[in-house]
Amino acid sequence: MNQPESDDGLFDHCPWLYAEQASQAQRAAQEQRRKRLLAGAGTVQLGEGCFVARTAAVYPDHLDLGDRSYIAAHAYVTGDIRTGADCTINPFTVVRGTVALGDGVRVGAHSSLLGFNHGTDPDLPVHRQPVTSRGITIGDDVWIGSHVVVLDGVTIGDHCVIGAGAVVTKDLPAWTMAAGNPARRIRDRRDPREAEPGRGTGGSTAPGGTAPRPAGTPALVEELSAFAGAARAQAVDVLDRCWRPDTRRYADRPGAEPTVRAHCDAVEIADLLLGEAPSQLPAAEHVARLRGLQDPATGLIPEYGAPPPLPGPAGVPDDGAPAYHVLCVGYALDLLDSSFAHPVHAVRRTTAEQLVPHLARLPWHDRAWHAGAWVDSWATAAHWNLRLGAEPAAPGALEALFGRLHTRVDRRTGMWGSPTPRDGHLQPVNGYYRLTRGSFAQFGLPVPYPERVIDTVLDHTRDPRHFAPGRENACNILDVIHPLWLCARQTTHRSEEARAWAAAQLTAALRHWHPGQGFAFGPAPDGTGPGRDPGLQGTEMWLAIIWLLADVVGVADALGYRPRGIHRPEPALPG
């Protein structure tokens, strides 16, 4: 369900939602709040796009709030407070005395910035001690975790990260990661070394309780470059082990049956690592085989040995290999400088009157991945039809798809679908990847509520059912990093957390390469799928995942490759 418009408390606690979601009445109420602050006893200046929660206690001598800065619910703000642009004083935070924040400072909930102090003259009772103020100065691009206390006289340099629960009593130079009580330097954020073992700090090492690996370090760049070089050198061996000379087809891994997807994965891997078609067949034969799979009547592609697939009520089948073949065969042909021989007629004939009810019937409540996968397949078929110069679908159907998606997204989470007791956010997050890959990303359109998507996805990464060591698989990691990557095109919201997560996953992923065999997909939650054995599907997916992780961290150039197929970063059609 969408958030009720009357719930003003949403913006008080999540002020970053205000700019996109507030009603006219709520904007008018915020304007009245601004006027009361400007007319109050203190001197107040409010930049463009600021938000001050109605439940915040703001009684300053001087307040200068920079553009797009927020004071959230139940914050207590007094004294001489100055912030740069894009600062957030989160719920229940105390900012008192003389405090100056640079640009892009995030102050976690329940933290205290105390830019004043009391004397300790033993001849005076405590309540009569004089108040002094040396002030607190915080630089640009600083992340202060929850329940942090910063004491008077402290200067925190640019780009620092202060761990949750820290008590900062002394100055911290730029790029410092600090934690503990009293706060101690853990390391320079640009330093590739982890915190030294055995050096207790008495607190968490990062605002969320985990230590982000510094991004873009020379050691990581070198490791990526070495990995990519080894993968290129072994690419032919990876493909050879999955080639079945008896059938002259590709299987995902030795001992498995040949599949259409395995052939497409082989084409993607060869293009990514070698820049050419797989050497087991001439390029022209790859094209002829893949084009020859398509059913001329429907435009759909069956599995080997299966009859032509039947269209679903709105074009593509609801599930199964033929639905995914729309993606993988189409992009394999594209990488081979070819295309489908026929439009996907099953989708080209779909009307809006057929599409909209079918979208409503998809299992969003408990199987959001399957619903998102169907949208991915349908939208990709429409894309291939456009590429062939045909109508994507019946007039108005493509517009109806995006209209339905925009009006049914949950603006609290940015997702389509609901979490389940069994799997948490696994279904909606994984469904989000498939849905947006084929629709918004493929057509070059912005996604709705990107900040809420990032919040939901980062929260999902903390679920040990899916991300505890040994439980990660290619699907779950891809379905997190692609939304983070996609939304980062539109917002810098929680970008440091996203980079930290990506850096940690990138380091782990590089360790899973099997020499001469590639990557294993990883354990599927239900025990099915390719699992822990190296194969083409795992290799194709992890190579793309590694690029996305590296791009979020800012080191993708070290790989020397860039996905051009299913996981391409650029839109397949201009928006």
Residues carrying an active site annotation? 118
Structure tokens at 557: 């150039």
Question: Which residues have CB under 8 Å from 181's CB, separation 6+?
Answer: 165, 166, 167, 202, 203
CA distances from 267 to 242, 264, 537, 539 (A): 12, 5, 11, 12
Write down how long the chain is. Answer: 575
- Output the CA angle 356-362-364, nearest 5 degrees: 115
Beta strands in 184-280 (DSSP E): 184-188, 243-244, 249-250
As a dihedral over the C-alpha atoms of residue 161, residue 148, residue 83, residue 137, rounded to 10 degrees, the angle is: -80
Residue 226 DSSP SS3: helix
Distances (CA, A) of 453 to 17, 90, 313, 460, 491: 12, 19, 30, 10, 11
End-to-end CA gap in the chain: 29
Least Cα distance to 85 among 119, 48, 118 occurs for: 48
DSSP 307-325: PPPPPBTTBS-SSSHHHHH
User: Do residues 164 and 192 make contact, with C-beta atoms less than 8 angstroms apart?
Assistant: no
Please state, in angstroms and rounded to a whole number, the distance separating the CA atoms of residues 383 and 387.
6
Phi first, then psi, for residue 410 (nearest 5°) are -80, 110
Tokens of 414: 């940015």
- How does strand 117-118 pair with strand 131-132? antiparallel
* Distance (Å, whole) CA 390 – CA 81: 60
Is 150 strand, coil or helix? strand
Q: Residue 204 in contact with residue 187, Cβ under 8 Å?
A: no
Contact of 243 with 237, CB cutoff 8 Å: no
Contacts of 155 (CB under 8 A, 6+ apart): 136, 137, 138, 139, 171, 172
- Cβ atoms within 10 A of the Cβ of 233, count? 12
CA separation for the pair 550, 60 (Å, rounded): 44
326 SS3 class: helix
